[in-house]
Structure 1
Amino acid sequence: MVSNKQLIAAVEDQDVMRLVDIARKGLLYSTFEVLASYLAFTQNEWSHFLNTTVRTLQRYKKDKKPLPQPISERIIQIQMIYQLGLDVFDDQASFDQWLNMKSIALGGRKPKDLLDSSFGIEVVKDELNRIEYGLFA
């Protein structure tokens, strides 16, 4: 299984092929737990983003089996968004605040509310790139 350091390195390096392999094998719940501790989301928010229930997440923790590929992939995508957001905003507090503010560019939605789908994650990524390069919609 992949270690936390290997996953973080692959995210930071944007080593997409390595991330594909990691998602296919499935993250261990313990790896997810370490990542989740750094990100400002509640367990309920995570269950929403991952399209599952808190109880199902707790069962993955208890069973100590790898998370399914779709869940592992979504966790990695959110970690990548978070890394990009930290790069753009230079600090976690500012990025967390942005995630929770309604955005005109996002149709009046909070960026955080879009993290439950691949399309939403892509829209948030695009908006972060626009902010980084000063291209406001």
Structure 2
Amino acid sequence: MKRTTSRIANGEFNDWDDESQKFDMIKLVREGIAYDDFLKFFRNEPFTDKEWANYLGISSRTLDRYRNGRKNFPAKQSERIIEIKRLLNYGESVFEDYDNFMEWLETKNIPMGGIVPKNLLDTTLGINMVQDQLGRIEQGILA
């Protein structure tokens, strides 16, 4: 079966609340995101391979196997990839500046108990906490 690059991985989606796009995301998660699509998805993101392995709940060695074998990530990792991508897009839109958002993501956050937000990206609950904090910032509620 020949795999085509997904519309999401091609960067065609910006409206993550569009219902038809959500169905495409579910399909992509079920099929598994190819490593090449993962690279396109996150070509500008500053995370290390070690951080990605942690976020995806796999070893660095397993991440290397995906890279070298050009295999698709399983559904669990594909879903986490989508969650993180959605969060990064949302954060950039809240800050209206990529560099400022990345700085915030890597800085201890007082309202979140002094936790560095990017250290929470290994769980769905953590991703939701970061997203909630971004929502507060968007609404002007800083503490």
Identify whether the pair has TM-score above 0.5, normalized to the shorter chain.
yes
Given candidates 79, 83, 87, the residue that maps to 1:77 is: 83
Specify the alignment match of 1:3 in structure 2: 5
- RMSD over aligned CA atoms reads 1.5
5+ residue gaps, structure 1, are none
Identity %: 36
> Are the counterparts in 1 of residues 8 and 25 from structure 2 also a CA contact under 8 Å?
no
**What TM-score comes out, normalization by structure 2 length?**
0.88
What one-letter code is carried by the residue in structure 2 that aligns with 1:114? L
Specify the alignment match of 1:37 in structure 2: 43
5+ residue gaps, structure 2, are none
Q: Which has the higher helix share?
A: 1
Specify the alignment match of 2:131 in structure 1: 125
What one-letter code is carried by the residue in structure 2 that aligns with 1:9? E
Shift in Å at residue 33 of structure 1?
A: 1.4
**What TM-score comes out, normalization by structure 1 length?**
0.91
> Are the counterparts in 1 of residues 6 and 28 from structure 2 also a CA contact under 8 Å?
no
Q: Measure the CA separation in 2 of the matches of 1:127 and 1:64.
A: 36
* Cα distance change on mapping 1:89 and 1:2 into 2, 3 Å: farther
Q: Which stretch shows the higher mean deviation, 35-44 or 105-114?
A: 35-44
Shift in Å at residue 5 of structure 1?
A: 4.4
